[in-house]
A = this chain, B = another copy of it.
């Protein structure tokens, strides 16, 4: 039977059968202590801006009130999971004022134990608090504050299904699934020392840090001078008594835990601080995923874990699935495995450290590590996994760590602590990460292929603790839900708040204009032409007027000509020809002079008004235009491809020609405060600036925008209005409404070039009733 199962998994390797081999679901749970600027644990309560920690699916507290726990949902890629984690980290950072997130598993400076507050959960969470008080008594609050990373993983259903089908396994699919996961667990326990060998990152604690002995009950300083991970060592985050179980099968595993609880050795299954936990679907023996609890916080990573480490963890679990083994763990193996872990945790930095193999031989840790890596490489190249560049790179990096080409975290931390001190080193890192978070606060990491407006909406949703689902990435379709309601949203502003008919009316510019005019709202006087010769014949009608000639459906300003004084028939005819190149129907409208503003209307309110200005630089009398562009492009809100609030200004042919028309080139040096435009068009996509005028605009224009939205019965719209002078009250002659957009971007109002963040993502979720 054992050999049979080994053969089954060997077959996969040999015959490279599984197309879904890399498919799985990943999740991370991470704890960080909130710390003050001088390295003390925060004594402040959990920030209310982070929502109700009783219900919040992503942000809550672990043992201590200042020990924030960040939880990603299960996601189908490591990129997404890591990005989600980083984003939760950013959100927490943005909402804890001047506090820092402590980036090390070993805690910052602590006060007397009685001053440390366990996490509080109000009236509804009394049992949680009691549980924590009990833990405090058994383990001491200091030990409970040691923080770490949990790595959650499950094989994709389609992978299980595919393997089950193709391997002609004779049992049923759920027993096949159980067999697979238990193989992983057993092998993981056997080789778990390697994870600490590679990633142990808590070799040292604050000098003042003491731990209550699980046996004497006395506070003792931590002394693990050659260790790689105090946290995973016998002095660290451990149960008083090790649970040994052979992991032959689920039934037995569950029974043994029950026995420990009945014997009073554990209060609860969750008190079992085992390096790996099997997780089940609620109320069943059906495995949902496994939880690897062995990873320390990586202080050199803002998110506490690198993507590379995640890729390796995935590979390591696949290795554990395929590695031949005997179907259960005997007691000897269990004890050897624990002893190897303890050696690596406590003495892992001793040169020539020897571990004990499961054959009873002694082996140099490094040699064993090289051996395992070799097996992984050969296994994965047969499985064609290493064709994936992420996994390839990950294995390569790990090879360099094992060979000593790259320094491991533990010795590096030791070195830097010696140099700077434990507190200062981690304060420096915490400050650096805080800066990084705030600088790119617009991004939702791992989902940067989504439109920025959608990223911003998702980020605010995470802050509020909404469940989020990306239903179609390309189309930016998401679902947001909480216990009371669900909303489907496309491109951030297409929601159920608006009715379909109103959207269609907005989409049709002529219908929009007619409805507005009927409501006594100013729109440009104009006519539609379906025929080029008919439009040309209308020259006399439009003669001597300032006119705009444009395709009926305008897109990014293409095909539009403005003629300030329509006297030249050849110019007029040319403009008509150009417009017809972009649409079957064109509009000729009377040109209305003034500045064009974007009014964002939502639920009869105008929380954002913006002007878009063509790409430009402002001189200082010293630098060239090229240098000024380079400098302006350094702003992190400028990027490429709509991933950032603004786009970088190009130094291309269009800019060169536009400078030339002004008698300038890239090497010209503008005067102090002189503004040089690099483009005629004001589009953000060509480096234009967005300038917020929400507070400056005379309120009468906001009222008009609201009236226009009401006339079309729309709740959310981006209304484009030309205003002659925004400081003067509106009358029917000093403004005109160009169009209402049914799918307005919100990011331009959240991160304008000049002006405040108008938090339209907040307004959107408020409007949706979340």
Minimum CB–CB distance from A744 to chain B (whole Å) comes to 13
Which of A89-97, A214-222, A470-478, A747-755 has 4 or more CB atoms under 8 Å from chain B?
A: A470-478
Q: Which residues of chain B are within 8 angstroms of A180 by Cβ–Cβ distance?
A: none
Whether A501 pairs with B514 at a CB distance below 8 angstroms is: no
A672 interface residue (CB < 8 Å to B): no
Interface size on A, residues (CB 8 A): 30
How many identical subunits does the complex contain? Answer: 2
Whether B504 pairs with A490 at a CB distance below 8 angstroms is: yes
Alpha-carbon distance between A387 and B537 when the two chains are bound, in angstroms: 16
Alpha-carbon distance between A742 and B742 when the two chains are bound, in angstroms: 18
A500 interface residue (CB < 8 Å to B): yes
Whether B510 pairs with A488 at a CB distance below 8 angstroms is: no
A36 interface residue (CB < 8 Å to B): no
Alpha-carbon distance between A488 and B518 when the two chains are bound, in angstroms: 14
Whether A475 pairs with B508 at a CB distance below 8 angstroms is: yes
A22 interface residue (CB < 8 Å to B): no
12 interchain pairs, CB-CB under 8 A: A19-B537, A471-B511, A472-B511, A488-B505, A488-B511, A490-B504, A494-B501, A494-B504, A496-B500, A496-B501, A496-B502, A500-B742
A489 interface residue (CB < 8 Å to B): yes
Alpha-carbon distance between A503 and B487 when the two chains are bound, in angstroms: 13
Minimum CB–CB distance from A742 to chain B (whole Å) comes to 8
Interface residues of A (CB under 8 A from B): 19, 471-472, 475, 477, 487-490, 494-505, 508, 510-511, 514, 537-538, 541, 713, 742
Q: Which residues of chain B are within 8 angstroms of A499 by Cβ–Cβ distance?
A: 495-500
CB closest chain-B residue, reference A497: B499
Minimum CB–CB distance from A89 to chain B (whole Å) comes to 30
Whether B713 pairs with A510 at a CB distance below 8 angstroms is: no
Q: Which residues of chain B are within 8 angstroms of A496 by Cβ–Cβ distance?
A: 499-502, 713
Alpha-carbon distance between A436 and B127 when the two chains are bound, in angstroms: 81
Minimum CB–CB distance from A480 to chain B (whole Å) comes to 11
Whether A471 pairs with B504 at a CB distance below 8 angstroms is: no
CB closest chain-B residue, reference A713: B496
Q: Which residues of chain B are within 8 angstroms of A537 by Cβ–Cβ distance?
A: 19
Whether A494 pairs with B505 at a CB distance below 8 angstroms is: no
Whether B511 pairs with A500 at a CB distance below 8 angstroms is: no
Whether B494 pairs with A500 at a CB distance below 8 angstroms is: yes
User: Which of B471, B501, B503, B713 meets A489, CB within 8 Å?
Assistant: B501
Alpha-carbon distance between A538 and B162 when the two chains are bound, in angstroms: 12
Minimum CB–CB distance from A240 to chain B (whole Å) comes to 45
Whether B508 pairs with A472 at a CB distance below 8 angstroms is: yes
Minimum CB–CB distance from A55 to chain B (whole Å) comes to 22
Alpha-carbon distance between A498 and B498 when the two chains are bound, in angstroms: 9
Q: Which residues of chain B are within 8 angstroms of A494 by Cβ–Cβ distance?
A: 500-501, 504
